[in-house]
Amino acid sequence: MNIGIVGLPNVGKSTIFNALAQTAKAEVANYPFCTIDPNVGIVNVPDPRLYEIARLEKSKKITPATIEFVDIAGLVKGASKGEGLGNQFLSHIRQVSAIAHVVRCFEDPDIVHVEGSIDPVRDAEIIELELILADLQTIERRLEKTAKLAKNDPKAKAELETLEKAKTLLENFKTLRPNLNLFSPEEKTFLEKVLCLLTVKPLMYIANISEDFLPEGKGNPYVAQLREKAQKEGTPLMVICGKIEQELVELTEEEKKEFLEALGLNEPGLHKLIRAGYKLLNLITFFTAGPKEARAWTIAKGTKAKEAAGEIHSDIERGFIAAEVINYTKYIEIGSFQKAKELGAVKLEGKDYVIEDGDIIYFRFNV
């Protein structure tokens, strides 16, 4: 499960990625297409609950959950027709699970804008249109093949209807994401997993601002414009100052704390961004803990206990007997897993128990 960072050239994608990955791996430069091959960063998910569990259980090792971000080169108008190496970059987007669209909401005469002016709604719509056109090409290619088969194949006929429905939306310049309620679960799977359509993928906007508008971009007219668009679409919006986030990475923990306080922030914006990305992918966290290690595990929302056990080891899933479970809130009230067991606060759950975010679990198994 990964998130692709996309946007026009020179909007701050690589700066934000560098801060996320805490590395200077992605080149930052004042010219388009300085990122050609996508850079990948595995990022720890900030979760204070894990450190509190480790403290109470006296765990020697702490292992956070992680999420993968992919820095994809800047798209330009005409990318769907191959402009600016567009086909190559669109193929990189096709491979990610969700999209974080960085939109420039800052002015800087030293950094050129590929469109010549700052206009976040126009910029967002340029990328949106290129993704729509790319999806339309995919649909049309598939239609040619399916239409021939549909005359004698009921399955192909059903697929043809799905394709036509998707094509109509795209031809009217509508992304498929907010219109997925028009498709059955099977049709959605086809659009997402078989065709890998770009406008089906979960999306969030990242408004990249200057430090003058911290916190949260208040008073920034560009953020206000983008927020209005995001609210109409039901798309999540994160406000971040990529330049400040990269500076924070270079500081010690003490310096970072002082810097954040001076800016009126209680945590780095990246922490919020990572958690928002986690939510965008519909992921939740469960914990395992003991004297050796406290660990956060990532699973999809709705995962059952037996499948969650498989995230730890296939042997635990295969030999699953039961799961001893207590949620974090109750656990904190009591103060330790062992004490919670003694008080009868730990529930014994079977294989069909649906894991909740914040569950602390001990799996019983026998291989």
Binding residues for ATP: 10-15
Residues forming beta bridges with residue 360, ordered by sequence position:
287, 326
Residues forming beta bridges with residue 297, ordered by sequence position:
286
Residue 342 tokens, joined? 């003694």
The 10 Å Cβ neighbour count of residue 356 is: 12
Contacts of 137 (CB under 8 A, 6+ apart): 80
CB 333 within 8 A of CB 289: no
* Sign of the dihedral through C-alpha 346, 349, 355, 361: positive
The rounded distance, in Å, linking the Cα atoms of 291 and 64 is 16
The rounded distance, in Å, linking the Cα atoms of 88 and 86 is 5
Phi/psi zone of residue 166: left (φ > 0), alpha (ψ -120 to 50 degrees), beta? alpha
Q: Which residues of 292-313 are buried (b: 16+ CB within 10 A; e: fewer)?
A: eebbbbbbeeebbbbebbbbbe
**CA distance readout (Å), 220 to 12, 207, 304, 354:** 17, 10, 44, 43
> For the purposes of burial, counting CB atoms within 10 Å of the CB of 22, is it exposed (0-12), middle (13-18) or buried (19 or more)?
middle
| Binding residue positions | 10-15
The 10 Å Cβ neighbour count of residue 123 is: 24
